[in-house]
């Protein structure tokens, strides 16, 4: 009895042809792989959101004639300068307005009128922001220039607030003066040289009778 030939022993066994069901399974596996690849596809993070639209809204409201509108705008802008993105907000504002002209205009419009303390608090937040004090920020000189526009030419406005005997107004003026002084020796010297330290209200504010 003859056994299987050598050729038949060496001939590899071939898999059976795929059935329709097997073909469908292969297609399903390929689709699963495509879906999995799509799910894990890398997507770059979106760029940081711009604050331009919000800043334009707030800066426009700063020049409103209605106390509620400009006071709310001042408070909201100051709140942004205390938030997580405060450095970005300040950078975007000063780059767009190197002379801080909107703040200067808001100050001019509020002179001798109710709500001046809101503007002073906002200006203090801008001048006192740590990022704006850093030379590496690229905007510190612009802010220094704005601070120099206050001393001595606008000190009289601060005296009015200090004489008001209203704690909120007095505090806003004092915080602004402190923010100017903290910007460096040069500005501190300007304050020391021009500020009227003989104001009758100062002993009361310092607690000295």
Asked if residue 21 belongs to a domain, the reply is no
Q: Which of 123, 106, 117 lies closest to 162 in space, CA to CA?
A: 117
Asked if residue 160 belongs to a domain, the reply is yes
pLDDT at 25: 43
pLDDT at 112: 86
Residue 89 has pLDDT above 90, yes or no: yes
Token pair listed for 162: 């200090």
pLDDT at 47: 45
Asked if residue 98 belongs to a domain, the reply is yes
Give the Cα separation of 158 and 133 in Å (integer).
Answer: 22
Residue 40 has pLDDT above 50, yes or no: no
Token pair listed for 55: 């800043």
Lowest-confidence region among 9-18, 38-47, 195-204 = 38-47
Q: How confident is the model at residue 14 (pLDDT cuts 50, 70, 90)?
A: very low
Residue 43 has pLDDT above 70, yes or no: no
Residue 175 has pLDDT above 60, yes or no: yes
Higher local confidence (pLDDT), 109 or 29: 109
Indicate which CATH number applies to the domain containing 140.
1.25.10
Q: Is the peptide bond before 152 cis (omega within 30 degrees of 0)?
A: yes
Asked if residue 43 belongs to a domain, the reply is no
CA dihedral of residues 146, 150, 154, 158 (deg, nearest 10): 120
pLDDT digits (tens, 9 = 90+) for 108-154: 999 988 899 999 999 999 999 999 999 999 999 999 999 999 999 99
Sequence-ordered list of residues with C-beta below 8 angstroms from that of 80, at least 6 positions apart, any chain: 51, 54, 58, 86, 89
Asked if residue 177 belongs to a domain, the reply is yes
- What is the arithmetic mean of pLDDT over 62-69? 92
Token pair listed for 131: 């990022």
Token pair listed for 178: 């402190």
Count of domains for the chain? 1
pLDDT at 208: 52
Asked if residue 40 belongs to a domain, the reply is no
- Domain of 65 in residue numbering reads as 52-198
Asked if residue 80 belongs to a domain, the reply is yes
Contact 137, 91 (CB under 8 A): yes
Higher local confidence (pLDDT), 195 or 48: 195
Residue 209 has pLDDT above 80, yes or no: no
Contact 202, 161 (CB under 8 A): no
Provide the mean pLDDT of the chain.
Answer: 83
Token pair listed for 113: 């009128």
Q: Which of 163, 69, 152, 56 lies closest to 115 in space, CA to CA?
A: 69
Element housing 101 (H / E): helix 101-110
Asked if residue 56 belongs to a domain, the reply is yes
- Provide the percentage of residues in the chain whose pLDDT is more than 70: 75
- What is the arithmetic mean of pLDDT over 76-89? 96
């Amino acid at each position: 009895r003859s056994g299987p030939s050598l050729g038949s022993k060496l001939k590899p066994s071939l898999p059976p042809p795929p059935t329709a069901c097997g073909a469908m399974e292969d297609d399903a596996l390929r689709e699963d792989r495509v879906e999995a690849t799509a799910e894990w596809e890398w997507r770059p993070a979106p760029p940081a959101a711009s604050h331009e639209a919000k800043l334009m809204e707030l800066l426009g409201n700063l020049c409103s004639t209605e106390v509620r509108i400009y006071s709310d705008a001042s408070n909201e802008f100051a709140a942004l300068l205390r938030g997580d993105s405060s450095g970005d907000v300040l950078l975007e504002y000063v780059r767009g307005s190197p002379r801080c002209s909107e703040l200067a205009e808001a100050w001019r419009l509020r002179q001798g009128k109710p709500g001046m303390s809101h503007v002073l608090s906002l200006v203090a937040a801008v001048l006192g922001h740590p990022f704006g004090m850093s030379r590496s920020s690229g905007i510190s000189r612009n802010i220094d220039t704005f601070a120099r526009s206050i001393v001595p030419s606008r000190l009289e406005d601060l005296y009015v607030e200090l004489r008001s005997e209203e704690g909120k107004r007095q505090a806003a003026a004092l915080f602004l003066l402190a923010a100017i002084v903290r910007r460096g020796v040069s500005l501190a010297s300007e304050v020391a040289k021009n500020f009227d330290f003989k104001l009758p209200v100062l002993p009361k504010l310092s607690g000295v009778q």
